[in-house]
Amino acid sequence: MSSISVEATLARGLRHLGRPLRRLRGVPFIVPYLPFLIGLGIVPMIMALELAVTNFDGSWSGLGNFVATFNDYRFMPAAVDVLLYTGIWMAALVVLVVGLALTLHARANKVSAAFRFLFYLPGALAGAASVLVWLFMLSPDVSPWGFILRGVFGLHLFSEVPLPQNLPFIFATIAFWTGAGGWIVVMYGALNTIPHEIEEAAKLDGAGPILIALRLKLPMIQKWIGYMLILTFATGTQVFVEPWLMNIATLQGINPDWSMNQYAYQLAFVYYHFNAAAAVSVDLLLVGLMAAAVIITRTQLFSAD
């Protein structure tokens, strides 16, 4: 045995040893993050589940809380409310957000970039601020849209605005105002992934902008529209801030349990029924989980390669 081959064998051996060690290179970097992922992602879900299937004294109750909350007179109306609201918002997204993104993309230049920014700006007011701004926007006496409220809808007093049948539209408008800009930017980015040559070829063929938008670009971003809808569905069903603040602004004039999350909040904080509140929370969690599962499994965009 020459010395070279001993070294070579040793080197080879060390390399074999090193490979598993090399595989573990990333581990130390995720260590600070893991407690958060587990403690604030997984544990709350497990806790909610545990509370949902037990009673106040800790005894097992199985599906009891779920059945009881489902049969509660406030459950169905709240579910209908959020589904209606989410449906309207999703429709607006499909039509208006996609439409605006396509319109912007038809002539991509500094002007359309400026428009994109203007659309995106209300996103800074997400949360309570946007609801408060829209409380003003919906007051016929001060709103710049006053002429529309009075002229088109015949509303002259603020108290006439937040009626039960108007609420899903009002909240959808607020959600659209705050969130459309961000989605337009995302859709625009998706449109940018369409190779230019295809668009050029279509133009050469004599296709007008509308045809290109509807027949060419739209099918190519179908996937993205799908994600947007799924995410919006999951987020919309969790709505809380808008109906909560509207309730305050109308002097408790709308249902304090208009949305599912509000209902869960009432159960927890007004009636002290943590177990029932947990059951409703688990219902909402399941909606979110289903949406997440659909998005993750149906796309390689989020695959763990």
Residues 84-113 binding another protein (CB under 8 A) are 96, 100, 103-104, 106-107, 112-113
Find tokens 């589904």 and name the residue.
83
Q: Which is nearer to another protein, 62 or 164 (CB)?
A: 164
Cα 214 to chain centroid, rounded: 26
118-148 burial code (b ≥16 CB/10 A, e <16): ebeebbebbeeebbeebbebbbbeebeebee
Q: Which is nearer to another protein, 1 or 107 (CB)?
A: 107
Q: Dihedral through CA 115, CA 119, CA 124, CA 125, nearest 10?
A: 140
Q: Which is nearer to another protein, 13 or 35 (CB)?
A: 35
Which residues, numbered 164-223, are part of the site for another protein (CB under 8 A)?
164-165, 177, 180-181, 185-186, 188-190, 192-193, 203-206, 208-210
Candidates 1-9, 78-86, 87-95, 156-164; binding stretch for another protein (CB under 8 A): 156-164
Closest approach of another protein to the CB of residue 216, in Å = 15
- Helix axis angle, 110-120 relative to 167-192, nearest 10°? 140
Tabulate helix, strand, coil % of the chain (nearest 5). 75, 0, 25
Query: Binding pattern to another protein, positions 7-46, x when CB under 8 A?
Result: ---------------xxxxxxxxx-xxx-xx-xxxxxxx-
Candidates 1-9, 78-86, 87-95, 152-160; binding stretch for another protein (CB under 8 A): 152-160
When asked if residue 271 is in the footprint of another protein (CB under 8 A), the reply is: yes
Residue 65 CA to residue 74 CA, distance in Å, equals 14
Query: Binding pattern to another protein, positions 220-259, x when CB under 8 A?
Result: -----------x--xx-xxxxx--xx--xxxxxxxxx---
- Asked if residue 188 lies in contact with residue 180, where contact means CB atoms within 8 angstroms, the answer is no
Residue choice 70, 120, 216, 218 for contact with another protein (CB under 8 A): 120
Closest approach of another protein to the CB of residue 98, in Å = 13
Coil, strand, or helix at residue 216? Answer: helix
Residue choice 68, 77, 87, 115 for contact with another protein (CB under 8 A): 115
Q: Which is nearer to another protein, 48 or 53 (CB)?
A: 48
Closest approach of another protein to the CB of residue 243, in Å = 12
Q: Which residues contact 161 (CB under 8 A, 6 or more apart)?
A: 138, 139, 140, 149, 155, 170
- Asked if residue 174 lies in contact with residue 136, where contact means CB atoms within 8 angstroms, the answer is no
Of 133, 153, 129, give the one whose Cα is nearest residue 142: 133
When asked if residue 136 is in the footprint of another protein (CB under 8 A), the reply is: yes
Q: Which is nearer to another protein, 3 or 26 (CB)?
A: 26
63-86 burial code (b ≥16 CB/10 A, e <16): ebbbeebeebebbeebbebbebbb
Residue choice 76, 91, 214, 296 for contact with another protein (CB under 8 A): 296
When asked if residue 67 is in the footprint of another protein (CB under 8 A), the reply is: no
Report how many residues bind another protein under the rule CB under 8 A: 132
Phi, psi of 187 (to 5 degrees): -60, -40
